[in-house]
Structure 1
Amino acid sequence: MELILKRNLEHQTIPIERLCSIFSNVGIQKSMNSIENPIIDIASPYLYQNIKRVQEDLPSNMQGVSQKEADYLNIDIKMETGTGKTYVYTKAIYELNKLYGFKKFIIAVPSLAIKAGTANFMKAKSNVNHFKNVCGYKTEIKLRTVESIKTKKGKKKYVPNSIRDFVTSSNLQRNTIEVLLVNMQHLKESKNGVLVREDYDSHIEGYFRPIDGISATRPIMIIDEPHRFSRDNATFKFIEEQVKPQMIIRFGATFPSEFIGRGKNRVEVKDYQNLIYDLNIHKAFENNLIKGVAKEHVESPDNKEEVFKILEMKKGEFVRFQKTELNEQGQTIKTTKELKTHDSLSLLSPKLSGITIDGILATKVILSNGEEKFTGDVFFADVFATSYVRESIRLALKRHFETERENFKRKFKIKTLALFFIDDIHSYRDNDMKEPYLKNIFEEELSKKLEEEIDKCNISEEEYQKYLGESLANINETHAGYFSQDNVSTEEEIEKEVNTILFDKEKLLSLVHKDGKANTTRFIFSKWTLKEGWDNPNIFTIAKLRSSGSDNSKLQEIGRGLRLPVDETGNRIENETFMLNYIVDFTEKDFVKKLEEEIYGETAFEQKVLTPEQIEKIATNKGLSKEQVLIDLMGKGFISFDREIKHDKIQEFMTEYPEIFNKLDKNRVRDRNLDKTREVAIRKENYWKLKSLWEQLNEKYYLHFDKINDNVLIEVVSDVITEDLINKTVRRTKRETSEMVQGELIFNVTLDTIDSSYDDTLSYGAFLKAIAESTNLSIPLIHAGIVKASKLKKIENAFFTSDTVRSFSIYFKQRIYDELLKIYSYRKLPNTTVHPTELTEENGNPRDFVKTSAYLGVKERKGTPLDTYLYDTILYDSEIEENNINENISSVEVYGKIPKRTLQIPFIDGSTYSPDFMYVVRDKNGQPTINLVVESKGVKKTQEIREIEDDKINAATKLFGKIKINENQGKYGKDTSLREFQEVLKDKQIKVHYVRQTNNENILDIINDLIQRN
Structure 2
Amino acid sequence: MKLKFKHQKFQAEATQAVCDVFLGQPFLSETNYLIDQGNVKGQKELYNFTGFKNHKLVPELTDKVILDNIRKIQRSHQIAPSDKLEGKYNLTVEMETGTGKTYVYIKTMLELNKRYGWSKFIVVVPSIAIREGVYKSFQITQEHFTEDYGKKINFFIYNSAQLTEIDRFASDSNINVMIINSQAFNARGKDARRIYMKLDSFRSRRPIDVIAQTNPILIIDEPQSVEGKQTVENLKNFNPLFTLRYSATHKKDRMFNLIYRLDAMEAYNKKLVKKIAVKGISQTGSTGTEGYLYLEGINIYKDKNPTAQLGFETKLKSGLKSTVRTVSVGFNLYEQSGNLEQYKDRYIVSDIDARDNSVTFQNGKKIYAGDVQGAVNEDQLRRIQIRETILSHIEKERQLYSKGIKVLSLFFIDEVAKYKQYDEAGTAFNGQYADIFVEEYNDIIGSLQLQFGEDSYVDYLKSIDTDNTHAGYFSIDKKKGQLIDGKIERKTKESTDVDAYNLIMKDKERLLSFEEPVRFIFSHSALKEGWDNPNVFQICTLKQSTAETRKRQEVGRGLRLCVNKEGDRMDIGYLGGEVHHVNQLTVIASESYESFAKGLQTEFAEVIADRPRKVNAELFEDKLIVTANNEEVIIDEDLATNINFSLIMNGYVSNKGELTDKYYLDKDNDNFIVSEDLVEYKSAIVNILDTIYSPEQIRPDNARSNNVELRLNEEKFNRKEFQELWKSINAKTAYVVDFETDELIRKAIDKINVHLHVSKIFFTVSTGTLESIKSKEILQQGEGFKEGNSKLIEVSTSANAGVKYDLIGKVVEETGLTRKTIVQILTGINKAVFDQFKYNPEEFILKISKLINEEKATAIIQHISYNKLEDSFGTEVFTEPTMKGKLGVNALPANKHLYDYIVFDNSNKEKEFAEKLDNSEEVSVYVKLPRGFYISTPVGKYNPDWAIAFNKGMVKHVYFVAETKGSMSTLDLREIESAKIHCAREHFKTISTDKVKYEVVDNYQRLMEIVK
Q: Which residue of 2 aligns with 1:164?
A: 167
| 2:481 counterpart letter in structure 1 | E
Q: Which residue of 2 aligns with 1:784?
A: none
Q: What is the CA distance between 1:238 and its match in structure 2?
A: 1.6
Q: Which residue of 2 aligns with 1:132?
A: 146
Q: Which residue of 2 aligns with 1:599?
A: 604
> 2:97·2:559 contact (CA, 8 Å) conserved in 1?
yes
Q: What is the CA distance between 1:56 and its match in structure 2?
A: 0.9
Pairing 1:52-451 to 2, within 5 Å after superposition: 52-60=71-79, 62-64=80-82, 66-68=84-86, 70=87, 72-124=88-140, 127-133=141-147, 135=148, 137-147=149-159, 149=161, 160-169=163-172, 171=173, 176-194=174-192, 195-198=194-197, 200-203=199-202, 208-230=205-227, 232-240=228-236, 242-258=237-253, 271-300=254-283, 302=285, 381-382=374-375, 387-410=380-403, 413-431=404-422, 436-451=431-446
Q: Which residue of 2 aligns with 1:51?
A: 70
Q: Which residue of 1 aligns with 2:584?
A: 579
Q: What is the CA distance between 1:482 and its match in structure 2?
A: 3.2
Distance 1:558 1:443 in 2: 25
Pairing 1:752-767 to 2, within 5 Å after superposition: none
Distance 1:308 1:112 in 2: 47
Distance 2:433 2:164 in 1: 44
Q: Which residue of 1 aligns with 2:702?
A: 672
TM-score by length of 2: 0.55
Q: What is the CA distance between 1:187 and its match in structure 2?
A: 2.8
Distance 2:697 2:55 in 1: 49
RMSD: 5.5
Whether 1:837 and 2:880 are equivalent positions in the alignment is yes
Q: What is the CA distance between 1:45 and its match in structure 2?
A: 2.2
Distance 1:116 1:694 in 2: 61
Higher relative contact order (CA 8 A, sep 6+): 2
> 2:63·2:85 contact (CA, 8 Å) conserved in 1?
no
> 2:559·2:585 contact (CA, 8 Å) conserved in 1?
yes
Q: Which residue of 1 aligns with 2:462?
A: 469
Distance 1:436 1:457 in 2: 31
Whether 1:546 and 2:543 are equivalent positions in the alignment is yes
Q: What is the CA distance between 1:597 and its match in structure 2?
A: 3.3
**3-state SS of 2:66 partner:** helix
Question: Residues 296, 37 of structure 1: CA spacing in aligned structure 2 closer, same or farther, 3 A cutoff?
Answer: same
> 2:121·2:218 contact (CA, 8 Å) conserved in 1?
yes
> 2:949·2:958 contact (CA, 8 Å) conserved in 1?
no
Distance 1:200 1:666 in 2: 59
**3-state SS of 2:190 partner:** coil
**3-state SS of 2:438 partner:** helix
| 2:388 counterpart letter in structure 1 | L
Distance 2:953 2:128 in 1: 64
Distance 1:108 1:422 in 2: 28
Question: Residues 394, 524 of structure 1: CA spacing in aligned structure 2 closer, same or farther, 3 A cutoff?
Answer: same
Distance 2:390 2:500 in 1: 21
| 1:4 counterpart letter in structure 2 | K
Distance 2:536 2:501 in 1: 17
Distance 1:593 1:298 in 2: 15
**3-state SS of 1:250 partner:** strand
1:744-768 per-position Cα deviation (integer Å, ceiling 9, x unaligned): xxxxxxxxxxxxxxxxxxxxxxxxx
Q: What is the CA distance between 1:390 and its match in structure 2?
A: 0.5
Distance 2:728 2:507 in 1: 42
Distance 2:187 2:85 in 1: 28
Q: Which residue of 2 aligns with 1:39?
A: 56
Distance 2:872 2:273 in 1: 28
Identical counterparts, % of pairs: 26
Unaligned runs of 5+ in 1: 150-158, 259-270, 310-343, 345-351, 356-378, 513-518, 631-638, 640-644, 699-827, 840-849, 876-880, 896-916, 922-928, 934-956, 986-991, 993-1000
**3-state SS of 2:276 partner:** strand
Question: Residues 203, 663 of structure 1: CA spacing in aligned structure 2 closer, same or farther, 3 A cutoff?
Answer: closer
Unaligned runs of 5+ in 2: 34-50, 293-319, 321-338, 343-371, 485-497, 618-640, 666-688, 733-870, 918-927, 964-970, 987-1012
Q: What is the CA distance between 1:692 and its match in structure 2?
A: 6.6
Q: What is the CA distance between 1:218 and its match in structure 2?
A: 0.6
Distance 2:96 2:954 in 1: 50
> 2:288·2:374 contact (CA, 8 Å) conserved in 1?
no
Distance 1:511 1:686 in 2: 30
* Number of corresponding residues: 656
> 1:868·1:893 contact (CA, 8 Å) conserved in 2?
no
Question: Residues 160, 567 of structure 1: CA spacing in aligned structure 2 closer, same or farther, 3 A cutoff?
Answer: same
| 1:11 counterpart letter in structure 2 | F
**3-state SS of 1:471 partner:** coil
| 1:407 counterpart letter in structure 2 | L
**3-state SS of 2:396 partner:** helix
**3-state SS of 2:510 partner:** helix
> 1:416·1:539 contact (CA, 8 Å) conserved in 2?
yes
Question: Residues 295, 587 of structure 1: CA spacing in aligned structure 2 closer, same or farther, 3 A cutoff?
Answer: closer
Distance 1:421 1:23 in 2: 44
1:269-313 per-position Cα deviation (integer Å, ceiling 9, x unaligned): xx211111111111211111111011112234749899999xxxx
Q: What is the CA distance between 1:478 and its match in structure 2?
A: 2.1
Whether 1:9 and 2:8 are equivalent positions in the alignment is yes
Decide which structure has the larger Cα Rg and report it.
2
> 1:292·1:669 contact (CA, 8 Å) conserved in 2?
no
Distance 1:212 1:380 in 2: 65
Q: Alignment partner for residue 454 of structure 2, among 459, 463, 469?
A: 459
Question: Residues 679, 435 of structure 1: CA spacing in aligned structure 2 closer, same or farther, 3 A cutoff?
Answer: closer
> 1:417·1:540 contact (CA, 8 Å) conserved in 2?
yes
Distance 1:500 1:584 in 2: 27
> 1:654·1:663 contact (CA, 8 Å) conserved in 2?
no
Distance 2:135 2:291 in 1: 43
| 1:2 counterpart letter in structure 2 | K
Question: Residues 666, 141 of structure 1: CA spacing in aligned structure 2 closer, same or farther, 3 A cutoff?
Answer: same
Distance 1:478 1:254 in 2: 35
> 2:416·2:483 contact (CA, 8 Å) conserved in 1?
no
Q: Which residue of 2 aligns with 1:943?
A: none
Distance 2:122 2:10 in 1: 24
Pairing 1:483-882 to 2, within 5 Å after superposition: 483=474, 485-486=475-476, 491=481, 499-512=502-515, 519-546=516-543, 552-574=549-571, 575=575, 576-577=579-580, 578-586=583-591, 589-603=594-608, 604-607=610-613, 639=656, 669-672=699-702, 675-679=704-708, 836-839=879-882, 850=883, 852-853=884-885, 860=889
> 1:294·1:671 contact (CA, 8 Å) conserved in 2?
yes
Distance 2:374 2:912 in 1: 57
> 1:21·1:50 contact (CA, 8 Å) conserved in 2?
yes
Question: Residues 544, 1004 of structure 1: CA spacing in aligned structure 2 closer, same or farther, 3 A cutoff?
Answer: farther
Q: What is the CA distance between 1:103 and its match in structure 2?
A: 1.0
Question: Residues 657, 568 of structure 1: CA spacing in aligned structure 2 closer, same or farther, 3 A cutoff?
Answer: closer
**3-state SS of 2:246 partner:** strand
> 1:78·1:251 contact (CA, 8 Å) conserved in 2?
yes
Distance 1:49 1:583 in 2: 48
Question: Residues 488, 498 of structure 1: CA spacing in aligned structure 2 closer, same or farther, 3 A cutoff?
Answer: farther
Q: What is the CA distance between 1:426 and its match in structure 2?
A: 2.1
> 1:297·1:392 contact (CA, 8 Å) conserved in 2?
no
